[in-house]
Amino acid sequence: MYRFAPSPTGDMHIGNLRAAIFNYICSLQDKSGFILRIEDTDTARNIEGKDQEIIEILKRFGISWQSLYYQSKNLKFHQQFAAKLLSEKKAFCCFCSEEELEAKKQAAKDAGEAYRYDGHCEHLSDEEVLNCGKPFTIRLKKPDHALEFTDAIKGRIAFEPQNIDSFVIMRADKTPTYNFACACDDMMQGVSFVIRGEDHVSNTPKQNWIRQSLGYDGEIKYAHLPIILNSEGKKMSKREDSSSVKWLLQSGYLPEAIANYLILLGNKTPREVFSMDEAVEFFDIAKISKSPAKFDEDKLAFINREHIKRASKQRLAELFELEPKFAPLIKFYTQEASLIPRIKEKIAAIYGMKDIPQEWATQAQALREAILNLLSSNGASAEFNDFKAALSQATNLKGKSLFMPLRFLLTGAPHGPELSELYPLIRADLKEILDATK
């Protein structure tokens, strides 16, 4: 069983989407199932509506799940598991206040040492605990031995007990911390493989330790994905536009291209352009590079153009919100632009109202009439060369004096693709196109 466990605390980062896609693909490969778990227990950081946004984004990427959970619904189980650990003396109540702990952290910092919990409340008697009367957190006792696990990408990783520490599993307000809720839920939901970002590596021994302390012996495998760097080689921050999936979609990248690019990133694949279904055939999590991957927007733009060229008429109509008849023209304009709005602008310039510069107005008017005459007599020839010859004959225009006004008439722009290549794609619409001329 695989899962994707986003927190509804901000815009979905491409690193999160990459984890979602990888978990989903692996779940399709071994047919073990895929869970979407919204980790909403940190109520102070939750942002209203972000859960729905995440759900909508995943759907746009064609990702589906067998079950959807909200972690907060499991609160009573988290509390019961914490009570069990307390009664078995595997966990203890900690009455240290925030201020006291803060002061100790500061002292450690001043001494240039790493802060560790000093075990202050670990050995309180039951009586002292019962009579304390102060708010408390619950801490899990740290292990007395190193904890190891094998990461599918990074290999064997070991953590010394002091690096795990007696960490907090329940906050003073009786809500679980991330590590506790996550470890309990992965156990309860029968998760067997977790793929997530490498910022979680140090959480893994803690989560394993929680489940071991609860007596769970089901194995959970892990793969931690290297971070994604920006073009300057720095960690891609949440504030960078291109790190936000929503921003990429709004800019006009296709979901299939973004997914393709994220699968390609830091990976060895048999080819560069593929669909998610195709990736299910060859994807191997162990082939993901250990070193950070660099986000390259030019490469993403290339992949985007390739997916536009591959897309069906219906898919393009849906993505571009244009009639299916525009599909060939959309594909044609990938030679000029990569993003949906940029390509739409080119097409809108052909079919929209055109402003012909004064310099070419007379010639354009003559050509317009000549084309309309052709259309009402024999129709416009299939070959651009014949069409051009007929226009030249009717207007006596040639060379630049023919091409420039003709280009303005047909495309609304001074530059663009070869008219001879564009012509067959717009020939059927010449009347409509000419009607949109001032």
Contact range with ligand GLU by CB under 6 A, out of 2-10, 303-311, 331-339, 429-437: 2-10
Alpha carbons 169 and 215: distance in angstroms, whole number: 16
Alpha carbons 350 and 356: distance in angstroms, whole number: 12
DSSP assignment of 64-75 equals: --SEEEEGGGGH
- Residues 390-409 as b/e (b if ≥16 CB within 10 A, e otherwise) read bbbeebebeeebbebbbbbb
Q: How far is the CB of 139 from ligand GLU (least distance, A)?
A: 20
Contact range with ligand GLU by CB under 6 A, out of 1-9, 53-61, 217-225, 324-332: 1-9
Contact range with ligand GLU by CB under 6 A, out of 5-13, 225-233, 291-299, 339-347: 5-13
User: 238: annotated binding-site residue?
Assistant: yes
Contact range with ligand GLU by CB under 6 A, out of 4-12, 155-163, 254-262, 357-365: 4-12
6 binds ligand GLU (CB under 6 A): yes
DSSP assignment of 359-414 equals: GGHHHHHHHHHHHHHHHHTT---SSHHHHHHHHHHHH---THHHHHHHHHHHHSSS
Q: How far is the CB of 5 from ligand GLU (least distance, A)?
A: 4
User: 94: annotated binding-site residue?
Assistant: yes
**Residue 168 or 182: which CB sits closer to ligand GLU?**
182
Q: Show contacts with ligand GLU in window 418-437 (CB under 6 A).
A: none
**Residue 19 or 367: which CB sits closer to ligand GLU?**
19
With CA atoms as reference, report the closest residue to 302 among 257, 340, 263, 264: 257
Token pair recorded at residue 159: 């953590």
Q: Show contacts with ligand GLU in window 93-132 (CB under 6 A).
A: none
Number of residues near ligand GLU (by CB under 6 A) = 7
**Residue 70 or 282: which CB sits closer to ligand GLU?**
70
Q: Show contacts with ligand GLU in window 359-398 (CB under 6 A).
A: none
Farthest CA pair distance, the chain: 107
With CA atoms as reference, report the closest residue to 180 among 296, 251, 86, 264: 86
Burial class (CB in 10 A: 0-12, 13-18, 19+), 387: buried
Radius of gyration of the chain from its Cα atoms, rounded to whole angstroms: 31
Q: Taking CB under 6 A as the rule, which mask of x and - marks residues 150-189 in contact with ligand GLU? A: --------------------------------x-------
Q: How far is the CB of 168 from ligand GLU (least distance, A)?
A: 17
Alpha carbons 205 and 250: distance in angstroms, whole number: 38
Q: Applying CB under 6 A, which of residues 18, 78, 141, 196 lies at the interface with ligand GLU?
A: 196
Please give the order of strands across the beta sheet that includes 221-225: 155-159, 147-151, 221-225, 193-197
Q: Taking CB under 6 A as the rule, which mask of x and - marks residues 200-229 in contact with ligand GLU? A: x-----------------------------
With CA atoms as reference, report the closest residue to 285 among 44, 36, 23: 23
By DSSP bridging, strand 228-229 and strand 293-294 are parallel
**Tokens 């509390």 belong to which residue?**
79
User: 132: annotated binding-site residue?
Assistant: no
Name every residue whose Cβ is closer than 8 Å to that of residue 403 and which is 6 or more positions away in sequence: 419
Q: How far is the CB of 208 from ligand GLU (least distance, A)?
A: 12
User: 121: annotated binding-site residue?
Assistant: yes
7 binds ligand GLU (CB under 6 A): yes
User: 93: annotated binding-site residue?
Assistant: no
Q: How far is the CB of 210 from ligand GLU (least distance, A)?
A: 13
Q: Applying CB under 6 A, which of residues 39, 40, 51, 306 lies at the interface with ligand GLU?
A: 39
Annotated binding site for Zn(2+): 94, 96, 121, 123
Q: Which residues form the interface with ligand GLU (CB under 6 A)?
A: 5-7, 39, 182, 196, 200
Annotated binding site for ATP: 238
Annotated binding site: 94, 96, 121, 123, 238
